[in-house]
Structure formats: C-alpha cells, structure tokens
Amino acid sequence: MSQEKIRNMDEFAALCGISRPTISKYFNDPNSVRPSTRDRIEAALKEYDYRPNIYAMNQNRRLTKNIGIVVPYLADPFFAEIARVIERRCIDAGFTPTLFSSHGEPGQETAILDTLRSLRPAGVLLAPLGRASDRKHIEEFCRDVPTILFDSNIEGVGAAFVGSDNFSFVSQTVEYLSRTGSAPCFFEMRDPANPNANKRRHAYLEMMRRLNLEPHLIKIDGTGWGFEEIGRTGALKVLKQDLLPTDTVLCSNDRLAIGVLSACHELGIRVGREEGCTIRIASHDDHPYSRFTCPSLTTAAHDYEAVSDHAVETLFRLIEAGGRLETREETLFAARLIMRASA
Amino acid sequence: MSQEKIRNMDEFAALCGISRPTISKYFNDPNSVRPSTRDRIEAALKEYDYRPNIYAMNQNRRLTKNIGIVVPYLADPFFAEIARVIERRCIDAGFTPTLFSSHGEPGQETAILDTLRSLRPAGVLLAPLGRASDRKHIEEFCRDVPTILFDSNIEGVGAAFVGSDNFSFVSQTVEYLSRTGSAPCFFEMRDPANPNANKRRHAYLEMMRRLNLEPHLIKIDGTGWGFEEIGRTGALKVLKQDLLPTDTVLCSNDRLAIGVLSACHELGIRVGREEGCTIRIASHDDHPYSRFTCPSLTTAAHDYEAVSDHAVETLFRLIEAGGRLETREETLFAARLIMRASA
DNA sequence: ATATATTTTTGACGCGCGTAAATAAATGGC
DNA sequence: GCCATTTATTTACGCGCGTCAAAAATATAT
C-alpha cells in the first residue's frame, strides 16, 4: 500500500491511467466496464486505498444507495434482531442502510422521518410506533419517499405492508392451551400502543367463540414501552386480588409475559405444566429471551427471516419500479407454536 | 404552509428577500444573524418548509456535524440503552448521530469504520468488540478520525476512554456475598471476548486474596455473543456433575447469569437467599432485564448516565480542540450494588 | 480487411452549498 | 446627527462527483 493520499477521483483516475468518467462508472457498477479496465482499477484500488466522497456522490445522483430503517424501540431485542437481519440484506444488495430508533416517542418518530428526507434515501423500511404515530406526518412522508411498512400496519399508508398474521399466532396458542388444559384468559394492556395488540385481542375473542368457550379479557393499566414492568405490576395486582378467572393466562406478547412470570415468582406461584404448578402462562412473539425465562416461555414465534426477507425484497422491487407499486400489497406470515415449559 | 416546493437555498433566499450567504450563515448557527433577520428567516421557514441539502452542506464544510456511534452488539439491551442515551445527548448538542452495530463480528466492525470514514464525522464514539477487534485497523482509524472509546478499552488507542471501574463492580459483590454467606466462586467464559471480563476475574482474585478466602474460577466453554445460552449450557454441565465448590456463584456478567438461572430452574434448584434455596447467584452490569429474572438478580450496576455523559462531553471537547487532546484520558465510573432476590 | 457494435475518452456543465473578501447598510453611543 | 462598530450583501470561486454528447479507440462479426 502506497503512502500517498488521494484527494479525489481525478487524482485516482490519473494514477490509474483511466479517465475519470470511467472510474465514476466503475464505482456505480463495477460490471459496467470492460474486465481489463476493471482489473486495472481494482489493482490501483489495492495500491492506493481511495474511496469516493459519499457526499459528492449522493449530491448529484438522482437516486442514492441509502436505505432508512426505522424501528419503534431498539432496546427491545425483538426489533434489534429484525433490524440486524434487514440491515444485512440491504448491505448485501449494495445499499447503505441507516438504522433509527423512535425510542417509543412519537416526536422522535417524526423527527427521524424529517432527518430521513434530507438523507434522500432510495427507500425506507418503517415499523411505526402504532397508535401513537402521527399518521398525517407519516402519510406525507410516504408520498415523497418510497416506503415499506413492517411489523405494524397503518391502513393505506406506504407502498406495502409486511408483517405477521396475528390470527395465526393467537389461534395456535388458544387451540393448544384449551386442548391441553383449561381455556386461557387474555392478558393485555388496557391501551396498547401497538395495533397488533388489538388484532390479537380480536383473534382471541374469535377463537374462543369458535371453540364455544367463554372469553375473559384481563386489561391492565400502564403506558409506554416498559412492558415487563407493566406486566409485572399488573399481574401482581390481579394475582393478589385473586381476580384470575382461569389457571391459564395467554399474554398478548412475550414482554408482558416476562413481567407476569416475575410477579408469579415474587408471590411464590409455580408456573408450568408440571405437577405442583398452579398456573400456565403462554404468549406471542418468541422474544429472544423467552427461552431463558424461568420457566421457559411457551409462545408463538414470528417468522423473522420471512418477514425481513419479504420486506426487503418488496422495497427493492419498489425502488426498481421507480417508487410506485400498482396496488398496495399486504403480506402476512404465519406463526409457529413453540412449546416450552410455561404452558 | 404554501404548496410551492423550494429546490435550493437560492430560491429560499429569494423568497425571504435575504441573500443566500446570510441564509447559509443562519443554518450553520441561527444566533450568528441579527434577531430581526432570524425572525424573517424563521417565518419563511414555517411558510415554505425548506431544508438545506445535507450532502451539499457536508461536502464543503471542513467539519461536518456528524457523529458516529458504534456498539459491539445492539441486540444486547445494555448497549441499546447506552446507545439511546448517547444518541440523545448528541442530538441535543446539535449533532447528527448515526448508530452502528458490529453484531459481534470483527469484520463488521472494520467495515463500519470504513463506512464511517466516508461519512467524514466530526467525531466517533466507539465501543470496540474487544479481543476480537482488529487492533491495527482501529488504531489507523483513530489516527484519522477523532475517536473516544467507551465500555471496552484498547490501551493507547483513541483520544480517551470512558468506562466502568471493573474493580468497583467486583469488590462490592464479593464483599457483600462473603459477608452475608459463603464466599463466591467466579463463573465466566473460558475465552471472554470482552476485556472487561479479564479485569473482573483479576478483581475477583484480588478481592479473595484480600479477604483471605480461597478463590474458585469456573470457566465454561463457548464463543460468540449468545451469552445466555453459553451460561445455560455451561451451568447445566457444572450443576449436573456437581462441580460447584460453593453455594454462591458470582457471574462475570448478567447475561451469563440469566443463563445460569435458567439452568437452575430446569434442574429444580431453588435460587435466592430465602429459606429453601440452595444456591445464591449474583452478577455484574444491571442489565435491563435483570430485575425481571426469577428470582430477580442481585448485581452491580453501571452508572449509565455518567458513562454516557462523560463520553459525549469528552468527545465534544475533543472536537473543539481540533481532534487532539493533550494526553489520553481514562475515566472509570464506580458501580452501585443492587440487592435483589437472587443473593 | 472491412463494417458494426461496444466501450472508453474528452470536454463541458451542473448539483447545492461553503466560504472569503470587498462593499454596503444598519445599529448604537455620544 | 455624526462616527465607529456590527451585521448583511454582493460577487466570485471551489468542493468532488454525476452525467451527457460527441469523438476516439477497441472489440466482434462478417
């Protein structure tokens, strides 16, 4: 590696003995230049370690290679994991993804979208906060920037939605639980921030109706994204007052369930389907930690890979199509029941 | 809000009735223009919703307002949380932070640094992978870009290091455990990826020497960043073979401890300091989930706020000083013992 | 060898803004 | 109302690269 620092493409082109426009062409698509030319450029690249200035590149390109990824809450390992997979897919496809977290705050979400505008991304993968989102602001953003929604849908907004089929989650857990023991009650937040929660409640009610069982909704108080703590305090209250209508609790999501497990432990209530256990707990999402809870959590798993892959692929199609799809697509992936010790 | 789309600063300046250089000055520092001028600009800003093109701005500025934040593993809520705090501080100071995760892979880490170069950041906050990091590559990067290391130190690399005082963590847990029960053994990975782990082991040995107690190291196999699973399988092995020298286990970090708790539960071993419990488990970090484990985890907590604040403040000083500090500073913050149910 | 298709080079322009120097205008104190 | 000071404007140039059209060079087919 030579010591000399190359300042710009002109200097690099001169060192290659190739014209600058050809170098420019190479960087936009190495396969667009003749193999012999490509070899000469790549040899020089090893020698001098030059990289074109991103800002100058993106300024003039009609379309950047940027992709924005927005998740509602990165401190939730579920979103951290799905963001990781999506990031990798984008990099492999030659894009430069940038990851943002709304940190559970609608203000942050709109601020991120504003920032994203000036990044001039080719496309955006957005998992909205949900109910708290500023719908109008997101709608406006989607009009200007090709955007795929994932995880949490906003009807009619964005070019497509990719997520999980909430009915598939709940139908499997309800069916399993009521087949192997008493029918579950449904444990959830009173005002869930995420629209998936509402869909899961409806799915629960529908499933109980089909099975001819009496539904029980347990709605607990709490706001924000500290679901474990909300689940814990809510469960403590319910359990202490002995308000549980059945010995089987189906939580809306794993993070709530982690809180419920914690409350049960505090109160000395044994959870599981073994002998000596007085309560069964199950849930949805297959959160990365749910296999390490005590007891390990029976849950319905997202098809992470399928959701990530399909969201990214749809975005690429959208970008290639110039930012518009004929119709707004909605794709839902089925869940997989994961039987562990808690139910 | 008017409908007309403004294409560039010239158009916006014309609509304001103010010259473009003055507008440019305003965007670089709103306080650098006369209040009456500022008001006119801001009135027009509301009217027309113009934002300068980031790429054109950064291209010519000697110093961008970009800050890079790199953490080793974003799916770990510990890093997600610290990244969140740091991000906020940067935004409040008028910078544009960009968050990257090395995803536990050295290749990713070097790739991120390469990407960061072309972002021309004013400064970078880097939490290296640790032992697996490509030291030379990071060193070279730090020569070109003002960088503060945090969480995990690499001797002599970067302008400063900000982290937690591992001795403070371990001395408190060891002191507490041996005062309230039998002395702890130390549970850790055989080849820890993170240098903090080594410091913690040394601190344990030193503390046991001072207290005149016999140390026991339990080294378990496993590589990568799936610490919970590594802790779980390691603990299962140790517990099944009854290799535990004491009834008190001090884990190197909370994620390992979560795995150990999981193993204990599987084997029907009751953990805690209550009657009927046969083992105590404590740990270090105060991982966001450690209060929801069953039982809740006694641990030593990082001073998240102090570490984040000091890291960011040091970076700002570094940037203002033109990228060089007189001497390489190393700042360590003490831990706080959090007594919960597990020990 | 010649004609045709493909690739590269040349030269030129523009992107949107930073920045510097010189000039003009506004402000503030007396 | 005058002068010194601060602030704004004008003018001009440059950043590093994308992109286009026309000309030149090269590769491929006949």
- Supply the pLDDT for residue B277: 95
Q: Which residue has the tokens 């030579």?
A: A2
Which residues make beta-bridge pairs with B99? A99, B69
What DSSP character marks residue B279?
B
Q: Per the omega criterion (within 30 degrees of 0), is the bond before A295 cis?
A: yes
pLDDT digits (tens, 9 = 90+) for A34-88: 888 888 889 888 888 888 988 898 888 878 889 999 999 998 888 998 999 999 9
CA of B65 to C1' of D10 (A): 28
The answer to whether the Cβ–Cβ distance between B56 and A55 falls below 8 Å is yes
Which residue from A119, A229, A261 is facing B294, i.e. has the nearest CB? Answer: A261
Instruction: Check CB contact under 8 Å for B101 and A84.
Output: yes
Tens-digit pLDDT profile for residues A158-168:
999 999 999 99
Q: Which positions on chain C have an atom < 7 Å from some protein CB? A: 7-12, 14-21, 27
- The terminus-to-terminus CA distance of chain A in angstroms comes to 61
CB proximity list for B327: less than 8 A, separation 6 or greater:
none
The integer distance in angstroms from the CA atom of A6 to the C1' atom of D1 is 60
Alpha carbon distance A250, A263 (integer Å):
15
Does residue B64 or residue A157 have the better pLDDT? A157
User: Of B87, B111, B140, which Cα lies nearest the Cα of A101?
Assistant: B87
Residue A299 CA to residue A288 CA, distance in Å, equals 11
Question: Could you give the residue range(s) of every CATH 3.40.50.2300 domain in chain A?
Answer: 66-163+305-333, 166-301
In 3D space, the residue among B12, B98, B86, B84 whose CA is nearest the CA of residue B48 turns out to be B12
The single residue listed with the structure tokens 């709605």 is A219
Strand-pair category, A248-251 with A217-220: unpaired
Residues B123-179 have pLDDT tens digits of 999 999 999 999 999 999 999 899 999 999 999 999 999 999 999 999 999 999 999
CA-based torsion, B7, B12, B14, B15: positive or negative: positive
Q: CATH for B66-164+305-333? A: 3.40.50.2300
CA dist B197 and B212 (Å) reads 22
- Residue A186: what are its φ and ψ, rounded to 5°? -110, 120
Interface of B with A in 142-201 (CB under 8 A): none
Through-space separation of residue A190 CA and nucleotide C2 C1' in angstroms: 83
Give me the architecture of the A66-163+305-333 domain, per CATH: 3-Layer(aba) Sandwich (3.40)
Report the amino acid identity of residue A84: R
Q: What is the CA radius of gyration of chain A?
A: 25
Q: Tell me whether B267 touches chain A (CB under 8 Å).
A: no
Of chain B, the percentage scoring pLDDT greater than 90 comes to: 69
Cβ-based neighbours of A21, under 8 Å, separated by 6 or more: none
Q: What is the pLDDT of residues A176-215, one digit of tens each?
A: 999 999 999 999 999 998 899 999 999 999 999 999 999 9
Task: Calculate mean pLDDT across residues A257-284.
Answer: 96
For an interface test with B, give the residue of A114, A143, A294 to mutate (most B CBs within 10 A).
A294
For chain B, residues classed under CATH 3.40.50.2300 are 66-164+305-333, 166-301
Contact map slice: A 100-119 vs B, CB within 8 A: 100-101, 103, 114-115, 117-119
A223 sits within 7 Å of strand D by its CB: no
CA A59 – CA A279 distance, rounded (Å): 61
Whether the CB-CB separation of B315 and B148 falls below 8 Å is answered with yes
Contacts with B, A 307-336, CB within 8 Å = none
* Measured CA B55 to C1' C16 distance, in angstroms: 8
The residue behind tokens 């968050």 is B99
Indicate the CATH number for domain A166-301.
3.40.50.2300
Mean pLDDT of A284-292: 95
Candidate from B77, B87, B293 with C-beta closest to A77:
B77
Say whether A81 and B98 touch across the interface (CB within 8 A): no
Residue B292 forms contact with A (CB below 8 Å): yes
Mean pLDDT computed over B51-77: 89
With contacts defined as CB-CB under 8 Å, which chain A residues touch B294?
A: 261-262, 264-265, 293-294
User: What single string gives the DSSP state of each residue in A145-214?
Assistant: S-EEEESS--TT-SSEEEEE-HHHHHHHHHHHHHHHSSPPEEEEESS-SSHHHHHHHHHHHHHHHHTT--
Answer yes or no: do A74 and B80 touch at CB < 8 A. yes
Q: Which of A58, A59, A80 sits opposite B80 (nearest CB)?
A: A80
Our CA dihedral for B151, A79, A123, A38, rounded to 10 degrees, sits at 50
Report the residue of A55, A63, A260, A287 to disrupt the B interface, i.e. the one with the largest count of B CBs within 10 Å.
Answer: A55
Which bases on strand D have an atom closer than 7 Å to a protein beta carbon? 7-12, 14-21, 27
Closest among A6, A39, A45, A41 to A21, alpha carbons compared: A41
Q: How many CA atoms lie within 13 A of A68 on its CB side?
A: 29
Tell me if residue B10 falls in helix, strand or coil.
helix
Q: What pLDDT band is residue B238 in, cutting at 50, 70 and 90?
A: very high
Give the Å distances, CA to CA, from A228 to A78, A223, A235, A254, B321.
14, 12, 10, 9, 44
Residue A2: what pLDDT?
56
Please report, rounded to whole angstroms, the spatial distance between the CA atom of protein residue B122 and the C1' atom of nucleotide D10.
31
Q: H helices of chain B, where?
A: 9-16, 20-28, 35-48, 54-60, 77-92, 106-119, 135-144, 166-180, 195-210, 227-240, 254-266, 304-320
A235 contacts: CB under 8 Å, gap ≥ 6:
A187, A220, A259, A260, A262, A263, A264
d(CA A241, CA B18) in angstroms, rounded, equals: 68
Q: Which of B74, B96, B253 should one mutate to test binding to chain A, selecting the residue with the greatest count of A CBs within 10 A?
A: B74
In angstroms, the Cα distances linking A110 to A27, A103, A230, B101 are 33, 12, 26, 23
Q: What is the pLDDT of residue B263?
A: 97
The alpha carbons of chain B give a radius of gyration, in whole angstroms, of 25
Q: Which residue has the higher pLDDT, A204 or B10?
A: A204
- Cβ of residue A30 near strand D, that is under 7 Å? no
| pLDDT at A320 (0 to 100) | 86
| Residue B28 confidence (pLDDT) | 86
Q: Residue A1 above 80 pLDDT? A: no
Residue nearest to nucleotide C15 (CA to C1'): A60
Judge whether residue A45 contacts strand D, using its CB and a 7 Å cut-off.
Answer: no
Name chain A contacts of B96, Cβ cutoff 8 Å: 115
More reliable by pLDDT, A118 or B296: B296
The first and second tokens of residue A271, run together, are: 């959870």
pLDDT, mean of residues B304-315: 95
Mean pLDDT of chain B, nearest integer: 93
How far apart are alpha carbons B135 and A53 in whole angstroms?
25
String of DSSP letters for A256-308: HHHHHHHHHHHTT--BSSSTT--BEEEEEE--TTTTSSSSPPEEEE--HHHHH
Cβ proximity of B113 and B138 under 8 Å? yes
The reply to whether residue B292 touches residue A100, judged by beta carbons under 8 angstroms, is no
The angle, 0 to 180 degrees and rounded to 10, between the axes of the packed helices B9-16 and B35-48 is 120
Please tell me the distance from the alpha carbon of residue B325 to that of residue B273, in angstroms, as a whole number.
49
Q: How far apart are CA A40 and CA A150, in angstroms?
A: 43
Q: Which range (A214-223, B27-36, B116-125, B216-225) has the least confidence? A: B27-36
What residues of chain A lie within 8 A of the CB of B77, using their CB? 75-77, 80
Residue B2 has pLDDT above 80, yes or no: no
SS3 A218: strand
pLDDT, one tens digit per residue, over B206-234 is: 999 999 999 999 999 999 889 999 999 99
Taking alpha carbons only, the member of B96, B114, B81, B193 closest to residue A91 is B114
Phi, psi of A3 (to 5 degrees): -80, -30
For residue B232, the chain A residue with the least C-alpha distance is A292
